[in-house]
C-alpha cells in the first residue's frame, strides 16, 4: 500500500461531517483528545455529530480508537481537551450513571450482561435508577423483541451469543435513551446472527433511538447507516453517507479491502 492515511485520507475541515443533515445535532464530539496513560493520547482530535434519528457508523482499523471514542462519549475515558455536548449541553467527562439518566445508553462489546441473572432481572438492572418505569419499559422492549418476553425467566448465561447481545441492547434501552452507543454488536457471531444484529439495530433506530455503532464488519455497517465515519490513528479520516463511503475507491483501498485481493496477496499470486 503506497498511500498513507495521513497524506491522503484526512477529512478537510468543512468536510468532517459530510452528508450530515441541517438542524441542531443531538450529540457532538468536538476535537476530542483523550487517552488512558499520562502523555499518551489515543484520540488526537476526533469529531462526530449525531442528529436526531440518525444511525451513524464508525469504522476503521484495529487500534484506531473506535472503542475509545465511545468510551470518551460515555465518560469512561478522560477527555483531555475538546468537548462533548448532548442537546447543546456540555457533558464532557460526566459520569456514566449521570449520562444514563440524561439519555445516553452504552452497550460495551464484552461482559454486557449479568450471566447469573435472568433476562428479566438483567432488564431490571437497566432501570435501577428509575425502577418504577420497569413495567412500561419492559412492554416496549417485548414489543420490539417478543422473544425476551417469552424467555424472561431464562438466565442470560444460558443464552446464545446473539441472544445475549439482544439482552444487552434491551438493557440499555430500558432507560429510554435518546442515543445508544453500540460497540461491535456483531463481533463473534455467525454470519446469520450478525445479520440479525444489524436488523435489530435498524429496528431500534426506526423506533426513534439515534444510534452510534462501532463495527469491524465495515461493509455491513455502512449498508445500514445513514452516515459513517472512518477513524484512523485517533483522527477522522473520511465521513459521508454510508453507501457513498462503501463505494469510495480510497475507502475501499485503505479500509475495506476485498477478499479477492487479500487472498491473492496472501498467496503471493500475481
Ligand atoms: N485500557 C487501556 N489502557 C491503555 N491503552 C488502551 C486501553 N484501551 C485501549 N488502549 C489503546 O488504545 C488504542 C485504541 O484502542 P481502541 O480499543 O479504542 O481501538 P479500536 O479502534 O476499538 O480497535 P478494535 O477494532 O481492535 O476494537 C490501542 O492502541 C489500545 O492499545
Ligand atoms: Mg474496539
Specify the DSSP class assigned to residue 13.
G
| Domains parsed from the chain with CATH numbers | 23-110+178-258 (3.40.50.300)
| Whole-number pLDDT of residue 263 | 58
Q: How confident is the model at residue 12 (pLDDT cuts 50, 70, 90)?
A: very low
User: CA 139 from chain center: how many Å?
Assistant: 25
For the cut 60, the answer to whether the pLDDT of residue 7 exceeds it is no
Name the residue among 133, 214, 60, 20 with its Cα closest to residue 123. Answer: 133
Pocket flag, ligand 1, residue 109 (CB < 6 Å): no
Overall average pLDDT of the 89-94 stretch: 98
Q: Whose CA is nearest to atom 28 of ligand 1?
A: 63
| Whole-number pLDDT of residue 254 | 83
Joined together, the cell numbers standing for residue 218 give 465495515
Length of the chain: 270
| Whole-number pLDDT of residue 6 | 40
Pocket flag, ligand 1, residue 42 (CB < 6 Å): yes
Pocket flag, ligand 1, residue 78 (CB < 6 Å): no
CB atoms within 10 A of CB 4: 11
Higher-pLDDT residue of 217 and 254 is: 217
| Whole-number pLDDT of residue 268 | 62
CA–CA gap between residue 211 and residue 202 (Å, rounded) = 9
Model-wide pTM > 0.85: yes
Distance 3 CA to ligand 2 centre (A): 24
The continuous run of DSSP H or E covering 247 comes out as helix 242-247
CA–CA gap between residue 224 and residue 220 (Å, rounded) = 7
Distance 260 CA to ligand 1 centre (A): 29
Strand-pairing partners, residue 251, are: none
Amino acid at each position: 500500500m503506497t498511500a498513507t492515511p495521513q497524506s491522503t485520507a484526512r477529512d478537510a475541515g468543512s468536510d468532517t461531517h459530510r452528508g450530515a443533515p441541517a438542524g441542531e445535532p443531538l450529540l457532538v464530539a468536538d476535537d476530542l483528545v483523550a487517552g488512558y496513560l499520562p502523555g499518551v493520547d489515543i484520540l488526537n482530535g476526533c469529531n462526530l455529530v449525531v442528529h436526531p434519528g440518525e444511525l451513524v457508523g464508525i469504522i476503521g482499523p484495529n487500534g484506531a480508537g473506535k472503542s475509545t471514542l465511545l468510551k470518551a462519549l460515555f465518560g469512561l475515558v478522560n477527555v483531555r481537551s475538546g468537548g462533548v455536548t448532548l442537546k447543546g449541553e456540555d457533558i464532557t467527562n460526566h459520569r456514566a450513571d449521570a449520562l444514563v439518566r440524561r439519555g445516553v445508553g452504552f452497550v460495551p462489546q464484552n461482559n454486557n450482561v449479568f450471566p447469573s441473572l435472568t433476562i428479566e432481572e438483567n432488564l431490571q438492572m437497566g432501570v435501577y435508577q428509575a425502577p418504577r418505569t420497569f413495567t412500561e419499559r419492559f412492554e416496549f422492549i417485548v414489543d420490539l423483541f417478543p422473544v425476551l418476553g417469552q424467555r424472561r425467566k431464562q438466565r442470560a448465561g444460558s443464552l446464545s451469543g446473539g441472544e445475549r447481545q439482544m439482552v444487552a441492547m434491551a438493557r440499555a434501552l430500558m432507560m429510554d435513551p435518546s442515543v445508544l452507543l453500540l460497540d461491535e454488536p456483531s463481533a463473534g457471531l455467525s454470519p446469520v446472527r450478525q445479520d440479525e444484529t444489524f436488523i435489530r439495530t435498524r429496528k431500534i433506530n426506526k423506533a426513534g433511538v439515534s444510534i452510534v455503532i462501532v463495527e469491524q464488519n465495515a461493509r455491513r455497517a455502512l449498508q445500514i447507516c445513514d452516515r459513517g465515519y472512518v477513524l484512523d490513528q485517533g483522527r477522522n479520516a473520511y465521513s459521508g453517507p454510508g453507501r457513498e463511503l462503501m463505494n469510495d475507491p480510497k475507502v475501499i483501498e485503505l479500509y475495506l479491502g476485498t477478499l479477492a485481493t487479500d487472498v491473492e496477496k496472501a498467496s503471493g499470486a500475481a
